[in-house]
Amino acid sequence: MSALKAIGRFVATVVVTLVGTPLPLLACAACYGKSDSALARGMNWGIFSLLAVVVFVLGGIAAFFVYLAKRAAATSSDDAAAPMNESEPSKQL
């Protein structure tokens, strides 16, 4: 049993050593810095596309708040221009 345990420990040590040994890695053209490759151009188009989506969404949110501000200003000017009569029921909530 002792020999079987020793073989198991040896195999485990070899596996851990092989898994933990660093291997040389090769970077892609975008990571390596070759900016004229097709991969780098595609990455740049992807960045610009995502940037366009973000600008479009933020522009929509800003336009919505401008719309709300204009509507609130129009509603408040209508309320100030037309005073309430005592005989009319209140239109306020």
* Per-residue pLDDT tens digits for 31-52: 666 677 787 788 889 999 999 9
Residue 5 lies in a domain: no
Helix ranges, the chain (H): 2-20, 29-32, 38-81
Domain count along the chain: 1
Residue 66 to residue 72: CA distance in whole angstroms: 10
Residue 30 lies in a domain: no
Is residue 30 within 8 Å of 39, Cβ to Cβ? yes
Q: Enumerate residue ranges in the chain where pLDDT < 70.
A: 1, 25, 27-34, 79-93
pTM, whole model, 2 decimals?
A: 0.49
pLDDT at 5: 86
Which residue range forms the structural domain that includes residue 61?
Answer: 35-80
pLDDT at 70: 93
